[in-house]
Amino acid sequence: MPAPDAAERLLNLLIALSHARGRMTRGEIRATVAGYDPINDRDDPGTARRRTAAFERMFERDKEDLRKLGVPLRTVTDATHGDDIGYIIDAGEAALPPISLTPVERAVIAVAAEYWENAALGTDARRALVKLTSSTGRLEDISLHLSARSTQGADAAPVIAQAIADGQAVQFDYTSAASGRARRTVEPWRLVVRGGPLYLVGLDRDRGESRTYRLSRIEGPVRTVGERRPFPR
């Protein structure tokens, strides 16, 4: 059985801490939460140390992710033994308002998070998916035969998305069959998905007309240029 990915492990940790009757120690978390490598008594001392160190790094990252999600994770120390540390989540404080999603809606959200997996927004997308999933109950899984995932142009998308929000032009090198490679300066209007690939729609300043650009054909970095101002569409 394959190990859970980072998002699934984080969700497992959130559920375990939210439903625990009391605090959970690191040892209990490692032994019971799916996604962590439990202690193996047959390991030699060197292997045991390496696996424990790997668990500690993973758990520290997951704690930080939970706190960035706004989850009220509290550290609780045993009154008698000061080095006996545990963790607890107040489920009432952590809960989102009830959210109702159909299987198709949930699948679309999962595809969106998968699309951003290798981009700068990947971490935020994964955290958002974990928090949203934790507040929706179990739903019937749905299989999608086509995915919007793309690695080409992934670095360009967050820069362009921010430029759209800021009202700032972008400049990049673009290759097309008609004109070859050329520098483009564009007032970005929106990003759209058409049949899987991601496209930028905006005003090409050099040509003075609206154009559509496939992000996978952008070569090199995208940079913002000029002052910030609303663009007429």
10-residue mean pLDDT profile of the chain (233 residues): values are: 68 84 90 90 92 93 87 80 76 62 66 58 62 54 45 72 89 84 91 75 89 88 87 70
pLDDT at 153: 57
Tell if the pTM clears 0.85, that is, is over it.
Answer: no
Cα angle 180, 181, 186; round to 5 = 115
pLDDT at 73: 87
Q: Among 16, 6, 42, which residue's Cα sits nearest to residue 134?
A: 16
- Distance in angstroms (rounded) separating the CA atoms of residues 53 and 115: 31
pLDDT at 149: 45
Q: Kindly report the number of other CB atoms within 10 A of residue 191's CB atom.
A: 16
